[in-house]
A and B are shown apart, each in its own frame.
Chain A
Amino acid sequence: MTKQQANWSPYDNNGGSCVAIAGADYCVIAADTRMSTGYNILTREYSKICKLADKCVMASSGFQADVKALQKQLAARHLIYQHQHNKQMSCPAMAQLLSNTLYYKRFFPYYSFNVLGGLDNEGKGCVFTYDAVGSYEKVGYSSQGSGSTLITPFLDNQLKSPSPLLLPAQDAVTPLGEAEAIDLIKTVFASASERDIYTGDKIEIVVVNADGIRREYMELRKD
C-alpha cells in the first residue's frame, strides 16, 4: 500500500505587488491592497504593509497567513530588543533579523516576498529586498510580488541605478525628490494593474522621512 499523498497544499498565493524606492532623505514603500486566491478576489482592502520600527517599514506579498506570522514574529522580536537595548532597532539591524527569521524556516519556508524600507542611522533612505528564504541585499529600489516582472524593468529604466559591480562603489539611492518618487510609484502600479490580474483596487503608499511616517492612498482599476 503506497503512502497517501496529501490532497491539500499548505501554501496559497494571495497575490499583489510591493515596491520600495530609497531617496537621499526619505524612503517610499508601496503595495496594492488586493487579496486574491486563484481567480477570486477575497477582499479589496487588505494592507500588505507593516511598520516594524519607527524608521523601518516592510511590505510583503505572497501567502498571507505566512506574511502575518512573519510580521508577528518580527514585532515580538523587536519588542524584546527594545526591552534589552532601550532603543528602537535600526533599519539595517531589522534587515538582518528578517533574513535570519526567513532562513530559520529554510525547510518549510515562509512563502513571503518582502521589501524592507526605511532610514538608516544617518537618516538616508535604504531598501532591502528578499527572497522567500532570506537571501537579501541592500538596493536603491526594489519590487516583489505578482507584478514585479512588470514593474522592475520600468524602475530600472527610470531610476537608472548604477551597477553594484562598479568600483569605487556608487550610491544606489535615487537623486529624485520625494514627490517625484511617489509619482513614479503611482505610475508603475497603474501600469501593472493593466496587465497583472492580481494587482489592483488601491495602492497604499507609506513615506518614511525625518518628520516621521505618513500614509497616502490611490485608487486603481477594480477589474
Chain B
Amino acid sequence: MDFMASKQPENSLLGPEADSQRTLYPYVTGTSVVALKYKDGILMAADMGGSYGSTLRYKNVERMKAIGKHSLLGASGEISDFQEILRYLDDLILYDNMWDDGNSLGPKEVHNYLTRVMYNRRNKFNPLWNSLVLGGIKNGQKYLGTVSMIGVNFEDDHVATGFGNHLARPILRQEWHENLSFEDGVKLLEKCMRVLLYRDRSAINKLQIAKITEEGMTISQPYSLKTYWEFSAFENPTQGAVGSW
C-alpha cells in the first residue's frame, strides 16, 4: 500500500543503495604534513606527492593552502576530500567577508569549524578521509592545531600527520623550543622531512615549506632536499652476508 511506504529523500544515506555513496577507502592520497610554531608565526611543510595506492600518480599536488587572512591549512589523506574541504572553507570565508564588519575568522575559529565538520561526517559514517593541520596567527596569538578523520583534535607547539607522528614528532620533542628563528625553524622542518623521505615509502623529494605570520602567508617554490646514499654498505650490499645472492 503506497501510503504506508516511507520514501527516503534522494540524498539520504539510509538503505542498501546508499552504501555505494559512502567512503570506504581513500584513492589518491597525500602523506605526512609537519608543522611547528616559531618566533613570528607558524611554519608548515608537506611534499607534493599524490599517490594512487602504491603508484606515485601525481607529483605537483599543493597540500597546503591559505585560509582567509590568518590561517594555513595542510592536509594528508584523500586529495579529493581535501578539495571538498577547501570548498566548504571558501564558503565560510566568503560569508565572513560579506559581513564586512572589520572582523575576520582566526585560526582558532577555522579549526573549530573543521573539527565540527569532520566529527559530523564521522557520525554519518561517511568520513572525509583526511588528517588536517591548521596553523595561523591573529593579533599576535599563534595557533597550531590538528583534526583527524574521526574528529580527534588538539593543539600543540608542533604537530604532524600520518608517518610524521612516528618519525617527526620525536625529533620535534627533542629540538623544538620557544621562539625559534625562521632559519632554525626551516632547518628543523627539513630535518624531519629528510627522515620522512628516507623512511616513508609514499614520500617524494619535492616539498614546499609554507609560513604564516601577521603579514600573511608565503609558500616556497617546490624544492628538493639533499640526500646521501653513498654509504659503503649500499655499494656492495651482500658483501658481508653469507648465503645472499
Show the binding face of A for B, using Cβ within 8 Å: 3-4, 6-12, 14, 35, 37, 40-43, 45-46, 63-65, 68-69, 108
Number of A-B contacts (CB under 8 A): 54
In the complex, are the beta carbons of A11 and B150 less than 8 A apart? yes
| Interface 9-mer from B45-53, B119-127, B199-207 | B119-127
User: Bound state CA distance, A46 and B127, in angstroms?
Assistant: 24
Also in contact, A68 and B153, with CB within 8 A (given A3-B19, A6-B24, A6-B125): yes
Contact of A12 among B115, B152, B156, B169 (CB under 8 A): B152
Q: How far is the CB of A13 from chain B (nearest CB, A)?
A: 10
Q: Is the interface of A mostly helix, strand, loop or mixed?
A: loop
A10-B122, A69-B119 as given contacts; A4 in contact with B19, CB under 8 Å: yes
With A10-B125, A69-B119 already in contact, the answer to whether A4 and B24 are too (CB < 8 A) is yes
Decide yes or no: A45 and B152 within 8 Å by CB, A4-B24, A10-B125 being known contacts. no
Query: Shortest beta-carbon distance, B130 to chain A, in Å?
Result: 12
Q: Can you add 18 more A-B contacts, CB < 8 Å, to A43-B155, A69-B151?
A: A6-B125, A7-B25, A8-B127, A9-B150, A14-B152, A40-B166, A43-B156, A46-B154, A63-B152, A64-B154, A65-B119, A65-B122, A65-B150, A65-B151, A65-B153, A68-B115, A68-B153, A108-B123
Closest to B158 in A: A43
Q: Which residues of B contact A40 (CB under 8 A)?
A: 165-166, 169
Give chain A residues whose Cβ lies under 8 Å from the Cβ of B154: 35, 42-43, 46, 64
> Per a CB cutoff under 8 Å, which of A12, A45, A46, A108 touches B150?
A12
Least Cβ–Cβ distance between A50 and chain B, in angstroms:
15
Contacts of A42 in B (CB 8 A): 152, 154, 156, 165
Assembly CA distance A51 to B66 (angstroms): 34
- B: number of interface residues (CB 8 Å): 22
Per-position contact with A for B1-40: 1 when CB-CB < 8 Å, else 0? 0000000000000001001000011000000000000000
Docked complex Cα distance between A43 and B157 (Å)? 9
A10 to B29, CA, bound (A): 20
Q: Which residue of B lies closest to A7 (CB)?
A: B25
Measured between beta carbons, the chain B residues less than 8 angstroms from A12 are 148, 150, 152
Q: Is B72 an interface residue (CB 8 A)?
A: no
Query: With A and B bound together, what is the CA distance between A104 and B149 in angstroms?
Result: 24
Across the A-B interface, give the 7 residue pairs with the lowest CB-CB distance, nearest first: A65-B151, A43-B156, A43-B154, A65-B152, A64-B152, A65-B119, A46-B154
A97 to chain B, nearest CB (A): 21
A37 and B24 in contact, given A42-B165, A65-B122, A69-B119 (Cβ under 8 angstroms): no
Q: Interface centre among B16, B127, B153, by most A CB within 10 Å?
A: B153
Tell which of B150, B165, B169 has the most Cβ of chain A within 10 Å: B150
Q: Which of B24, B127, B152 has the most CB of A within 10 A?
A: B152
A14's closest neighbor in chain B, by CB? B152
Query: Which chain B residues numbered 134 to 178 have a C-beta less than 8 Å away from chain A?
Result: 148-156, 165-166, 169
User: Could you list 10 A-B pairs, sorted by A, with CB under 8 Å?
Assistant: A6-B24, A7-B24, A8-B149, A9-B150, A10-B122, A43-B154, A63-B152, A65-B122, A65-B153, A68-B151
Q: Complex: how many Å from CA A223 to CA B154?
A: 20
Specify which chain A residues have a CB less than 8 angstroms from the CB of B127 in the assembled complex: 8
